[in-house]
Structure 1
Amino acid sequence: MVLSESKAKTQQQAIRLAPPLEVAECCCCGFKEECTPGYARRVRERHGGRWACGLCEEAVRDAMAAAGAGPGSEAARLEEALTLHSDLCKRCRSPVPPRHSAEELIGHLKRLLRRVLDAQRRGGRD
């Protein structure tokens, strides 16, 4: 009996000490996720004040890497990559599919597969 009371008290303390959660919505795809305010703040800092889910963050990072260190600041390249990816997400959620949706999907999957295979050849993760 004493052991179970001690367990219950420990669980109650853990619940009280748990950090508060907030629901963050991805600026690209609309995915909602519960996360701590600190994590949400760090993600927003990386994306110009907007929150992006992990998948969209990877896609934006890939788009920025593909653009290279071209003209404009990193903030401008980030903005462009976020806008392009947001537009892609909106087209994919649209009830009317784009004219070349199969080719577009194949192209994205091909780039993803190449990236995974390149990472395996290097023996690490990107």
Structure 2
Amino acid sequence: MYATIISEPVGGLPAPESQAAAAPKLNPQSEIESAKCECCGLTEECTPAYIEHVRERNMGHWICGLCSEAIKDEIVRSERLLSTEEAMATHMNFCMKFKASGPPLNPTIHLISAMTKILRRSLDSPRGSSSTPSTPMRMGGRPGLTRSGSCFPALTGVE
């Protein structure tokens, strides 16, 4: 089976080869720069246009995507109306304090403690309306599907 590539203009559009010849050939490596987040210090490789776009959105600061989401979250979680500048200053302050604290003495215990806090928060926080319970609920808040006994009484010795 053979495939033929037609390079004639279709519908008045120039052929792909003529488009490729008209576009300047750039070395992709020359277009990449390193940008360091002004909050957390993460370094990313980006194009100059993207770096400029991020700076325009963040009042001249280059902020990584993770810190940008943290700043948005800071605005949403705040009990009072926060401007983007205030939320960015709060997040930058948090990052500076975190970096200054140094590494934990025992990283394993630190990780276990952090995971415990996350688990407690997730269990204590009310679920959003978008999440559905895994067990259907009856009126009165009790699960609708409850197990009354074993399905195999001969195996468990319970009849």
* Structure 2: unaligned runs, 5 residues or longer: 1-24, 104-109, 133-159
* Structure 1: unaligned runs, 5 residues or longer: 1-14, 71-75
Give, in angstroms, the shift of residue 121 of structure 1.
Answer: 2.7
Match of 2:60 among 49, 53, 59: 49
Partner residue in 2 for 1:84: 90
Give, in angstroms, the shift of residue 42 of structure 1.
Answer: 1.4
Which of structures 1 and 2 has the bigger CA Rg? 2
Match of 1:121, SS?
coil
Partner residue in 1 for 2:21: none
Matched, 1:26 2:26: no
Larger relative helix fraction: 1
Please list every run of at least 4 consecutive aligned residues from structure 1 whose deviation after the TM superposition is greater than 6 angstroms.
none
Higher relative contact order (CA 8 A, sep 6+): 1
Give, in angstroms, the shift of residue 45 of structure 1.
Answer: 1.3
> Are the structure 2 counterparts of residues 38 and 96 from structure 1 closer, same or farther at C-alpha, using a change threshold of 3 Å?
closer
Give the TM-score normalised by the residue count of structure 1.
0.57
> Are the structure 2 counterparts of residues 57 and 119 from structure 1 closer, same or farther at C-alpha, using a change threshold of 3 Å?
farther
What aligned pairs does 1:101-112 form with structure 2 within 5 A after superposition?
Answer: 106=117, 110=121
Q: Which amino acid aligns with 1:77?
A: S
Give, in angstroms, the shift of residue 120 of structure 1.
Answer: 6.6
Partner residue in 2 for 1:62: 73
Percent identical residues: 33
> Are the structure 2 counterparts of residues 85 and 106 from structure 1 closer, same or farther at C-alpha, using a change threshold of 3 Å?
farther
> Are the structure 2 counterparts of residues 69 and 95 from structure 1 closer, same or farther at C-alpha, using a change threshold of 3 Å?
closer
Partner residue in 1 for 2:6: none
Give, in angstroms, the shift of residue 58 of structure 1.
Answer: 0.5
Count of aligned pairs: 98
